[in-house]
Amino acid sequence: MKKLILFLFLSTSLFCFGQGKSALKDVQSIKFYGVDYSQVKVFGADESPLQFKDAFRRINELFITEAKKYNVGKQLRKEVTEISLDAVNQVNRNINESELMTTKTKYSLDKEQIKTAIEALPIQKTPGVGMVFIAQFLDKSKNSGTYEVVFFNTETKEIIEEWITEGKAGGFGLRNYWAGSIHSALKKL
């Protein structure tokens, strides 16, 4: 009986996973908006919130300055028609520094927080599909960053598809260390 229940659960989860990927099947191109750190919590790091806010801006710049290495379109096999970091830079500048660091060893965003983050992005409402990484948890003790990958309708801001990915952090300096987690997460797209 336990094997039957396990089989049914696994079959159902495979079906649900296939449903999500099919939502993106017909999407030919996307607009990429970078990494939104407005909801993130940082655990176990010695740097100040101000240092992190500066690093977040510099990490997003890598999508332009090191476009070959941080190539979202290549990983997704989709054309990226626009890379616009203005929206995430604006919400990232407004991060409440007193709420950035945490002593909790786990943190994740719920569906409502993700929806609110997408709605808060100050983007032009034009037809198309947008993509953004929403940073959830940067855990220095485990050298990892957790991100929500979100695809949304840029006109209505309705979420089309989302999933969680994780990346291994590494590198010299605050920016490079956490940019390593983005690069690692990109490879898993």
CATH of the domain at 55: 3.40.50
- Confirm whether 112 is domain-assigned: yes
- Confirm whether 3 is domain-assigned: no
- Confirm whether 149 is domain-assigned: yes
145: buried, middle or exposed (CB in 10 Å: 19+, 13-18, 0-12)? buried
- Confirm whether 77 is domain-assigned: yes
Q: How many domains, in total, are found in the chain?
A: 1
pLDDT recorded at residue 26: 85
Could you read off the pLDDT of 6-29 as tens digits, one per residue? 333 333 333 333 334 557 888 889
pLDDT recorded at residue 21: 53
pLDDT recorded at residue 4: 37
Kindly tell me if the per-residue pLDDT of 57 is higher than 90: yes
* pTM exceeds cut of 0.95: no
Please give the residue range of the domain that contains residue 55: 25-187
